[in-house]
Amino acid sequence: MNMSAHLRNGLVGLHSVRRWRPSLRLSVGLLAVAVVVGMAVVLAEVVAGHLRSIAADAAVHNVEAIVRGYVDPQVDEGSLALDALPEPGISDELERLIVAGDIRVISIWSRDARIVYSTAAELRGRRFSIDDLVARAFLGTSISAYAVNQDHSEGTPGPTDTQPVLQIFVPIRGLVDGDPIGVYEVEQDARPIEDRVETTRRDVFLLALAAATVLLIILAVAFAGTSALLGRQNRLLRARAETERLLGVDLRRSEERFRSLVRSSSDVILIIDADGTIGYESPAVARVLGYDPEERVGTSAYDAIHDADVAWIRSLIADISTRTGAEAAADFRARHADGSWRWLQATAKNLLNDPAVSAIVVNYRDITDRRALEEQLRYQAFHDALSGLPNRALFMDRLDHALTRARRDQSAVAVLFLDLDDFKSVNDGLGHGAGDELLVSVAERLNRTLRDADTAARMGGDEFAILLEDAHDKHASVEIAERILEVLRAPFTVQGQHVRIRGSVGIALYTDPEQTADELLRHADVAMYAAKSQGKDRLMVFQPDVHLVTIDRHQLKADLHLALDNGEFTLLYQPVVDLESTTITGVEALIRWQHPRRGLIGPTEFIPLAEESGMIVPVGRWVLAEACRQGQAWQEGAARPLTMSVNLSARQIDDIGLIDDVAAALRDSGLDPALLTLEITESVLLSDMEVVMARLRALKSLGVRLAIDDFGTGYSSLSYLRNLPVDVLKIDRSFVAAVDSGTAERALVRSIVSLAQILGLETVAEGIEEPSQLAALRSAGAQFGQGFLFAEPLDAHRVPAALARVTSCARPRRRAASPAPRRGRRPVRAGITSTS
């Protein structure tokens, strides 16, 4: 290390010295000063001491020289003998010496302790006691001593001298034997010596002080430098230790955060190896499956999986465990600790090659409730809400299966089509409530009459279909049909009244492997019409010549071709209202056919025919164009934008030209695409999903909105909803009809609404007829609705008035709690209903 660096360190170190406690700093400083001063003093004292003795020795030599040179020759035994008179010459000689130098007094002692000669006259001849110094001089040694305030004699009033003096005693040797015959005492002024000694002492003191100070500073700097160096190293070490500690803390913290995330996650995190052995399971397992988190560690994750699922789950895991990073998702059942089965939705990821994990990480949650809702919706989709019987969809499905079986093992299949005679009169006479009650009773009697293997279904309105499997021949089927007609003939009690009802049954037998379910049902339908036309309350077995009766339908189909050109179609518009404010936010276009001979025909009657013949495509094109034109016409003068909903049938979705038709309708009318909602039913989704998705995306790209119509009546898998580009869920009328009948139904609607909310979909409840339904729907959180309670489907020219009326009626929003808008006559069922 070079000097400047050292100095720098030292100065830095002095800074560190400043960090000492002040009292300690003061003591150390004082001690250092004391040591330095003390050393200087001691050194100065030592030097001064030496100097004084050297000076004394020199003075002694001087005096010896004088004694030997001047005094000895003149002094002898005699002149110093007792009582001898002092030789005056000697005294003169001594006085001369005094004048010459610093010598103040010179005396000569004789052996008898008498001062024989002295320059101080008052001392001459006097006798004194011999002190130690004089005694030693008499022994032959020259000796000197410093003294102060030398008093010459006791009692003698001499000048009291306070100055320092040097006393020198030199023996005077006799000529005879060399023994001292006297002592020559010189009292010399010590001040010059003392002055010199003092100066020297001061110089030495200062020099020593300076030297010691410099030395001390050097030492201090060196010490401080070292201490700074050590301090820095210490700080570095401490900082490193601190960083490590912090890092450790940080790591620990993030690890803890991760752990608590895992711990508090509502999903269970499961770590398994490739064999499915559990290495870890997060605490959520206690809530989801009722197990202690530790309980299953070390066991196989497959143990709890349902027998029906375990094999394919195993192969799924086996599959992903061969590919690094591979993921898989699955829904399956697992046993809860309480023994019940729970549906789990799981995702698994292969992190076997991730050194931090080395496992398959599974994330699962309980979806039992969701599955139950799906199950319930599926049940609804396949069952008639009123009677609880299977609906058309389930019936057709079972018929399909029965036909497949029949083709395979030549088993027999028959379809009975039952339509109640004059049901309309019950409905009209006793009210819809009585009509519904009657339908339920009919369903019960059907069920009682049939064997378990047979299926009775409600096809809509007062129409029922019965699937007979293993009905060996025509006679067996006829027998059952007769029994059905028989049980119907017994009177029913509806709302306390006896009601008589009859039915007509058409029977179609499976005879040809080429026959489809649709065909068989149509044949039964045709036979039923034949039975009706022959006077009702009877049965008819389908025979090819019975087909004549169907001319009616064929005729209708044929008429459809002309209807478009003849302008026989019209659109009615049913308002869609905001359930909270009951203001109209839009309308749904509903087609009607003004048949030249048969009068007004409803869509349920002719849309299926139009679909069969393909006429639905041009008819649908017309509906789109007309609805858009009308919709745009209403925008002018409307207080706020009015949405327009148009129904699309599955056949239209299949048609490649649909996108162009919609685009053309929008372009020609000028309607804002955002105001157009296209309604499709769930059944659309049954066809080729890829085509459907592509078509829906193309529609969406035009800027229109998409709605799922009659939600809950189709193949309600909630999972597909997530993937569809839809904006609106229209809750089917059957849910709305049941919503005020019980808590379970209400909960179902609530589930649908909350599902829609989760998926970000608007909800429109269809077929609201009663204020109680409105209240229940509101409390379930449904946003929009349609129904006779607000308005029936209206002629276009009546819509502007309705817009004004419903809006004004809804103004005092407080009344929303009991909104039954009893504005005159309650809206009647619009158009033609399909009941007979």
User: Measured between alpha carbons, how far is 382 from 392 in angstroms, rounded to an integer?
Assistant: 7
Comparing CA positions, the residue from 477, 471, 456, 323 lying closest to residue 411 is 471
Q: Out of Ca ion, ligand C2E, none, which partner does residue 309 contact, by CB within 5 to 8 A per kind?
A: none
Question: Is residue 550 involved in binding Ca ion (CB under 5 A)?
Answer: no
Query: Contact with Ca ion (CB under 5 A): which of 72, 421, 469, 710?
Result: 710
Query: Contact with Ca ion (CB under 5 A): which of 709, 745, 769, 792?
Result: 709
- Report the nearest approach of ligand C2E to the CB of residue 824 (Å): 17
Q: Out of Ca ion, ligand C2E, none, which partner does residue 380 contact, by CB within 5 to 8 A per kind?
A: none
| Amino acid symbol at 124 | R
Cα of 816 vs its chain's centroid, Å = 41
Comparing CA positions, the residue from 833, 814, 805, 819 lying closest to residue 768 is 819
- Report the nearest approach of ligand C2E to the CB of residue 559 (Å): 17
| CA count, 13 A, side-chain hemisphere, 247 | 6
Nearer to ligand C2E, 119 or 652 (CB): 652
Nearer to ligand C2E, 174 or 793 (CB): 793
Nearer to ligand C2E, 618 or 831 (CB): 831
User: What is 225-239 written as a DSSP string?
Assistant: HHHHHHHHHHHHHHH
Cα of 258 vs its chain's centroid, Å = 10
User: Measured between alpha carbons, how far is 654 from 677 in angstroms, rounded to an integer?
Assistant: 18
Which of the residues 762 through 801 are near Ca ion (CB under 5 A)?
766
Nearer to Ca ion, 402 or 587 (CB): 587
- Report the nearest approach of ligand C2E to the CB of residue 629 (Å): 14
Q: Out of Ca ion, ligand C2E, none, which partner does residue 71 contact, by CB within 5 to 8 A per kind?
A: none
- Report the nearest approach of ligand C2E to the CB of residue 605 (Å): 9
User: What is 429-484 written as a DSSP string?
Assistant: HH-HHHHHHHHHHHHHHHHHHS-TTSEEEEEETTEEEEEEES--SHHHHHHHHHHH
Residue 298: strand, helix, or coil = coil
User: Measured between alpha carbons, how far is 330 from 316 in angstroms, rounded to an integer?
Assistant: 9
Comparing CA positions, the residue from 572, 640, 584 lying closest to residue 805 is 584
Q: What residues does 188 pair with on adjacent strands?
A: 103, 166
- Report the nearest approach of ligand C2E to the CB of residue 506 (Å): 24
Q: Out of ligand C2E, Ca ion, none, which partner does residue 781 contact, by CB within 5 to 8 A per kind?
A: none
- Report the nearest approach of ligand C2E to the CB of residue 361 (Å): 46
- Report the nearest approach of Ca ion to the CB of residue 354 (Å): 51
x-or-dash string of contact with Ca ion, 432-471, rule CB under 5 A: ----------------------------------------
- Report the nearest approach of ligand C2E to the CB of residue 482 (Å): 34
Segment interacting with Ca ion (CB under 5 A) among 393-401, 461-469, 642-650, 776-784: 642-650
Segment interacting with Ca ion (CB under 5 A) among 141-149, 527-535, 658-666, 673-681: 673-681
Burial of 473 (0-12, 13-18, 19+ CB in 10 A): exposed
Nearer to ligand C2E, 90 or 789 (CB): 789
Segment interacting with Ca ion (CB under 5 A) among 215-223, 357-365, 472-480, 639-647: 639-647
Q: Where are the beta strands (DSSP E) in 682-786?
A: 705-711, 728-731, 762-765, 784-785
- Report the nearest approach of ligand C2E to the CB of residue 611 (Å): 8
- Report the nearest approach of ligand C2E to the CB of residue 273 (Å): 53
Pairing status of strand 502-509 against strand 539-541:
parallel
Q: Out of ligand C2E, Ca ion, none, which partner does residue 574 contact, by CB within 5 to 8 A per kind?
A: ligand C2E
- Report the nearest approach of ligand C2E to the CB of residue 609 (Å): 12
| CA count, 13 A, side-chain hemisphere, 447 | 12
Residue 244: strand, helix, or coil = helix
Nearer to Ca ion, 225 or 827 (CB): 827
Number of amino acids touching Ca ion (CB under 5 A) = 5
Cα of 301 vs its chain's centroid, Å = 28
CA distances from 657 to 288, 397, 698 (A): 50, 30, 11
Nearer to ligand C2E, 366 or 588 (CB): 588
Pairing status of strand 341-351 against strand 794-795:
unpaired
- Report the nearest approach of ligand C2E to the CB of residue 620 (Å): 6
- Where are the alpha helices (H) located in 534-670, listed in sequence order? 551-566, 603-613, 616-635, 650-654, 658-669
Nearer to Ca ion, 185 or 384 (CB): 384
User: Measured between alpha carbons, how far is 411 from 497 in angstroms, rounded to an integer?
Assistant: 44
Q: Which residues bind ligand C2E (CB under 6 A)?
A: 574, 590-591, 602-604, 607, 620, 623, 647-649, 679, 709-710, 733, 766-769, 786-788, 793, 830-831
Nearer to Ca ion, 309 or 710 (CB): 710
* Phi, psi of 356, rounded to the nearest 5 degrees: -75, -15
Q: Out of Ca ion, ligand C2E, none, which partner does residue 455 contact, by CB within 5 to 8 A per kind?
A: none
Nearer to ligand C2E, 309 or 384 (CB): 384
Q: Out of ligand C2E, Ca ion, none, which partner does residue 604 contact, by CB within 5 to 8 A per kind?
A: ligand C2E
Nearer to Ca ion, 309 or 679 (CB): 679
Nearer to ligand C2E, 582 or 649 (CB): 649
CA distances from 785 to 410, 770, 801, 835 (A): 50, 12, 19, 24
Task: Count other C-beta atoms under 10 Å from residue 148's C-beta.
Answer: 11
Segment interacting with Ca ion (CB under 5 A) among 164-172, 356-364, 427-435, 641-649: 641-649
Q: Out of Ca ion, ligand C2E, none, which partner does residue 788 contact, by CB within 5 to 8 A per kind?
A: ligand C2E
Which of the residues 644 through 663 are near Ca ion (CB under 5 A)?
647
Question: Are 627 and 590 a contacting pair, CB within 8 Å?
Answer: no
Nearer to ligand C2E, 535 or 599 (CB): 599
Element (H, E) at 164: strand 164-173
Comparing CA positions, the residue from 361, 363, 365, 343 lying closest to residue 352 is 361
Which pair of structure tokens corresponds to residue 687? 């066809």
Q: Out of ligand C2E, Ca ion, none, which partner does residue 618 contact, by CB within 5 to 8 A per kind?
A: none
Nearer to Ca ion, 559 or 679 (CB): 679
Nearer to ligand C2E, 194 or 384 (CB): 384
Residues that bind Ca ion (CB under 5 A): 647, 679, 709-710, 766
